[in-house]
């Protein structure tokens, strides 16, 4: 297979971790006989410094022309003083999601056997193993609603719009994911308070009855879901949530697994095109020191192969290699090791093999 991958490394540790994921993808291409080309473009604060825009038109065009996009991280204190509409997180990330039609965010969270001791939860809670998937709606809700500050500066308003069509679209993604897992979806909402949540609950329940009767469905208020994630995380299979709730719960889930540096994500549209990134931030405090954990980005590359390119065996090869590196103990300091970013990336690439 030939594929073009847009590479937008971004800020902070982004260039360091993305470089390792690219090397792993090159090893996959060599082992399995594919031809991957990488189109590197600036994004985020680095792009602002170079061009005056966190998302240059050339970068957006390159993403549109690609088969998939690999992203590192954007933002940092250096650009916090920019007007809200120009800050990297809003101008780059939210615009990319909107312009590329990326409405479905998949955030898998699992406990790797060798990292179970790194979880902040008691061993008896995670002993059964945690393997859940947060399916987050990505282009609606509070983040894309109206944002208003009163003229006197004494009040503000953010709106949380959702349509039935938006809810149906993301619910179908959750039901489809559950069919490949353990067949259970938990829809997270706040239907006792929010009208949008009541619309979510009504829509998801109706859709399950007409299109997904094979999937077990339950509902949970977001505050209870946050509590149950730390009380009994193995209870969950697929969590379906609107934008803000999904953002918060997926970060909580990352800590249950032992390190936010281990969680990948995929942001998809209907045709399988996607943007892939680790869920952690740009970590400017450790940028350039060679100690950043690249595994979440490498696992994001595995998701890229699976969801956008349809290369299941190749994706599994990366995940297998990652597990073997974790078991070997060649890890970055956040996981208790002393290896560098590049050493960990090279170790994963070395263990990727075809056939």
For residue 66, give every residue at least 6 positions away whose Cβ sits within 8 Å of its Cβ, in sequence order, or none: 4, 5, 6, 39
Q: State how far the Cα of 282 lies from the Cα of 11, in Å rounded to an integer.
A: 6
Query: What are the Cα distances from residue 37, in Å, to 26, 67, 127, 168?
Result: 9, 10, 42, 35
Residue 355, pLDDT above cutoff 70: no
pLDDT digits (tens, 9 = 90+) for 256-293: 887 788 899 999 999 999 999 998 889 999 999 999 99
- Please state the pTM of the whole predicted model: 0.90
Query: What structural domains and CATH numbers belong to the chain?
Result: 1-100+273-355 (3.40.718.10), 108-261 (3.40.718.10)
pLDDT digits (tens, 9 = 90+) for 320-330: 999 999 999 99
Strand order across the 216-221 sheet: 35-40, 2-10, 68-73, 274-278, 264-268, 104-110, 131-137, 238-241, 184-189, 216-221
Residue 177, pLDDT above cutoff 80: yes
User: Which three-class secondary structure state does DSSP give residue 61?
Assistant: helix
Q: State how far the Cα of 17 lies from the Cα of 31, in Å rounded to an integer.
A: 22
Q: State how far the Cα of 256 lies from the Cα of 120, in Å rounded to an integer.
A: 6
Please give the pLDDT value at position 324: 95
Residue 123, pLDDT above cutoff 90: no
Q: State how far the Cα of 98 lies from the Cα of 77, in Å rounded to an integer.
A: 25
User: Which three-class secondary structure state does DSSP give residue 171?
Assistant: helix
Q: Do the beta carbons of residue 88 and residue 75 sit within 8 Å?
A: yes
Catalytic machinery residues: 143, 190, 223, 247, 251
pLDDT digits (tens, 9 = 90+) for 6-46: 999 999 999 999 999 999 999 999 999 999 999 999 999 99
- Residue identified by tokens 């996607």 is 274
Please give the pLDDT value at position 77: 93
């Amino acid at each position: 297979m030939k594929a073009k991958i847009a590479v937008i490394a971004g800020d902070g540790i982004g260039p360091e971790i993305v470089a390792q994921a690219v090397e792993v993808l090159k090893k996959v291409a060599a082992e399995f006989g594919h031809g991957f080309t990488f189109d590197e473009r600036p994004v985020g604060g680095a792009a602002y410094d170079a061009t005056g825009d966190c998302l240059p038109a050339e970068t957006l065009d390159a993403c549109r022309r690609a088969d998939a996009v690999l992203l590192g991280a954007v933002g940092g204190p250096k650009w916090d003083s920019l007007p809200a509409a120009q800050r990297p997180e809003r101008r780059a990330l939210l615009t990319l999601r909107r312009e590329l039609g990326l409405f479905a965010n998949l955030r898998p969270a699992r406990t790797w056997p060798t990292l179970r001791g790194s979880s902040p939860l008691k061993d008896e809670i995670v002993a059964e193993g945690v393997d859940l998937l947060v399916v987050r709606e990505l282009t609606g809700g509070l983040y894309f609603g109206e944002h208003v500050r009163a003229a006197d500066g004494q009040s503000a308003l953010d709106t949380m719009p959702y349509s039935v069509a938006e809810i149906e679209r993301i619910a179908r993604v959750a039901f489809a994911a559950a069919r490949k897992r353990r067949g259970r979806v938990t829809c997270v909402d706040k239907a006792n308070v929010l009208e949008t949540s009541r619309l979510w609950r009504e829509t998801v329940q109706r859709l399950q009855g007409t299109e997904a009767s094979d999937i077990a469905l339950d509902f949970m208020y977001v505050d209870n879901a946050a509590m149950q994630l730390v009380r009994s995380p193995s209870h969950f299979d697929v969590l379906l949530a609107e934008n803000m709730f999904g953002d918060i719960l997926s970060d909580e889930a990352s800590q249950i697994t032992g390190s936010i540096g281990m969680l990948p994500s995929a942001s998809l549209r209907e045709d399988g095109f996607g943007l892939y990134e680790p869920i952690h931030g740009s970590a400017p405090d450790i940028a350039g020191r060679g100690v950043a954990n690249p595994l979440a980005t490498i696992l994001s590359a595995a998701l890229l192969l699976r969801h956008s390119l349809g290369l299941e065996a190749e994706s599994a090869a990366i995940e297998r290699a990652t597990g073997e590196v974790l078991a070997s103990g060649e890890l970055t300091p956040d996981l208790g090791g002393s290896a560098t970013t590049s050493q960990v990336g090279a170790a994963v690439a070395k263990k990727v093999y075809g056939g």
